[in-house]
Amino acid sequence: MARFVDLHPVDPQPRRVAQVVQALREDALIAYPTDSGYALGCQLGNRDGRDRILRIRQLDDRHHFTLMCRDFAQLGQLVHIDNAAFRAIKAATPGAYTFILPATGEVPRRLMHPKKRTVGVRIPQHAVVSALLEELGEPLLTSTLILPGEEEPRTLGWELMEELEHEVDVVVEAGETIAEPTTVVDWSEGYPDVVRVGSGDPGRFVA
């Protein structure tokens, strides 16, 4: 049965943050709030966690995973960014955007798109996620928590606790989040292609 951890949405308690991160280091799969609804997350090296995310969301291996990053420096270690993309992405982060870019050698191959060798990256604007990433000291493998048959991410931790208590190891509660996923911008071909319009303003990436 999953553990339920209640965090303050603006000033998350360090001791409880450390408890969640310790669980991540022990290969836990967590459900946690972000600036675009709930997400599933685990450490990059957690192979079972990756497979559990695919199973819960009923996705195949072509799913574009996202690496949740603490800051732009961390993001830059994971993907190749040319000068034009660098300026535009830096100006848009932190925020409700996911960028698809060619992965560097720092990213395990099993987390890349099998053909394109790309991965999604984002820097969230959410106090709880920032605290978790700061304590963890590395990116978090993540996927928006949109359950099969649904179109929007979940927003309430207690509801997820009831539904996924045997599917995840920790459910983080921090008050209700918005239910709109990120805007996804594919920059893998050298130019921005908005492939999903979400809560981030797509206008800055449309010519």
Confidence (pLDDT) at 207: 64
SS3 142: strand
Give tens-digit pLDDT for 62-118: 788 899 999 999 999 999 999 889 999 999 999 999 999 999 999 999 898 888 899
Give tens-digit pLDDT for 137-194: 999 999 999 999 998 888 999 999 999 999 999 999 998 788 788 999 999 999 999 9
pTM to 2 decimal places:
0.93
Confidence (pLDDT) at 152: 86
User: How confident is residue 60, by pLDDT bands cut at 50, 70 and 90?
Assistant: confident
Give the residue from 119, 121, 32, 127 showing the smallest Cα distance to 74.
121
List the structure tokens of 188.
């893998």
Q: Which domains does the chain carry?
A: 3-205 (3.90.870.10)
CB 5 within 8 A of CB 174: no
